[in-house]
Amino acid sequence: MFYALDAIRRRPGRSALTSLGIGLSVGLVVLLLAISAGIQTSATELATASGVDLIAASANTTITTGSVPPIPHAHELATQIPNADPNVAVASPWLVSELVFGNASLWAAANASRVPGDWSPTGSGTVGWIPSENTGIQVPTIYNGTGFTYPGDPHYANGSYDGPFTHEIVLDEGLAAVLGVSVGDLVWASPSQATGPASLPGWYANATAFRVVGVSGPFWLIPSVLLSFLYLSELQSIVGGGTPSTDYASLVLIHLTDPTTASEDQVRLETAFPSLTVITLSEILGAIQQVVNIYRTFGTLIGAIGVVVAALFATTVLLMSVDDRSREIALLRAVGYTRAEVGSLIAQEGVLLSLLGFALGLPIAYFGAYELNRFLLNLIGGLPVGFSFVSFDAGVLLSGIALVLAIGLLASALPAARAMSLPVAEELRAP
């Protein structure tokens, strides 16, 4: 190793450039591995912490389905599913839809016919659920306000849909900020968008007014930056499906008492409810893993190109080093060094250059990943606290070390072969 260190020391500029090239390529690969590991780890942790062990959707729905057909008789399923499977602790029907919201300022401007040109109702994802029937399932944290007042779903009224409307709504911080409202204010909601300022009075006349009873944090389970929450029957009454014969929902989220038997519960529920497809948490994580694997493959191809270029560059530099020291290497052979020992000296130099490259590339990858993670977290709203797009775990670091060792050994193979085959007598006689 001392010989390799001395060879690197005598050619500092060339050695530094070689190590930097190796470091940049290895840093790129480590960064790509850290991103795939971070997404996979965060997704697994979030899915496990969500409390959702099974998801029931309409029959023939798959994880990759772009649209989710409605499930009829959703309120009844909340009772029927636990009755069919004693291991089901909670079956919570959710209706996910899009609504358009307007605030009191826009309402006043519309009535006064003084609507600024850039003012219009705001679109938002909306969840209709039964707030008191989500025990064990992770729901958004209420930052301000008391949240929903009444247990159950008052307007549903045991299937009659004759009960009172609560007209209560919870908005996430993003939507509350866009609308400029806080707890206690009114907002108006409609499934349709206003066509222009002149249509706003008619839009408000047909919209439904709600009182804001809570402002929540972001909710990662629904991929929307702007999100609102209503009682299930009240959202149904706006978007359709709020009748005893329909009672639509998009999904039923199921929390199990014992999640270790999820696959058995899946079979039991699909047998009891042929109109439903039941998806397990492991299947959801498997779909996430497939997406990550596609990304990992793409990243590996990019990284492989960089690694090949770095290896070729290191090989060229080591060949030049062998040529520069041909007389010195011949002298080593003359004093008793074997061909294998000479080859090992060149291999040590290649590995050492690669390790120096790793020492340079790892900080570059780490700080690059830190900045990328910060950028993505600021760019993508609705992510929970603790989510990270990158993870420098032991597997990532070991992969980086294995990669630099491979580069060093591969890059030194041809130079070592040349060093071992140098004609000793000719080199010693050369002027």
pLDDT tens-digit readout, 164-191: 999 999 999 989 999 999 999 999 999 9
Element (H, E) at 99: strand 88-103
In a domain, 389, yes or no: yes
pLDDT at 15: 67
Do 82 and 222 have their domain in common?
Answer: yes
**Higher local confidence (pLDDT), 98 or 396:** 98
Strongest mean pLDDT among 61-75, 244-258, 307-321, 364-378: 244-258
pLDDT tens-digit readout, 26-77: 777 788 778 877 877 777 777 777 888 999 988 877 655 556 788 999 999 9
* Phi and psi, residue 92, nearest 5°: -110, 110
In a domain, 64, yes or no: no
Last residue of a domain, one of 250, 274, 298: 274
In a domain, 402, yes or no: yes
Q: Mean pLDDT across the stretch 4-17?
A: 62
pLDDT at 183: 96
In a domain, 279, yes or no: no
Q: How far is CA 28 from the centre of its chain?
A: 20
In a domain, 52, yes or no: no
Do 164 and 308 have their domain in common?
Answer: no
Quick one: pLDDT band at residue 323, thresholds 50, 70, 90?
Answer: confident
Domain that holds residue 195: 72-274
Residue 351: HSE in the Cβ half-sphere, 13 Å Cα cutoff: 15
Give the CA distances from residue 43 to residues 79, 132, 140, 226, in Å, rounded to whole numbers and listed in that order.
30, 26, 17, 21
Do 311 and 253 have their domain in common?
Answer: no
In a domain, 103, yes or no: yes
3-state helix, strand, coil in the chain (%, to 5): 55, 15, 30
Do 91 and 192 have their domain in common?
Answer: yes
In a domain, 364, yes or no: yes
Do 107 and 139 have their domain in common?
Answer: yes
- pLDDT of 95 higher than 70: yes
Do 128 and 262 have their domain in common?
Answer: yes
pLDDT at 67: 67
Do 199 and 333 have their domain in common?
Answer: no
Do 413 and 318 have their domain in common?
Answer: yes
Do 110 and 239 have their domain in common?
Answer: yes
**How many domains does the chain fold into?**
2
pLDDT at 217: 85
In a domain, 303, yes or no: yes
Do 94 and 240 have their domain in common?
Answer: yes
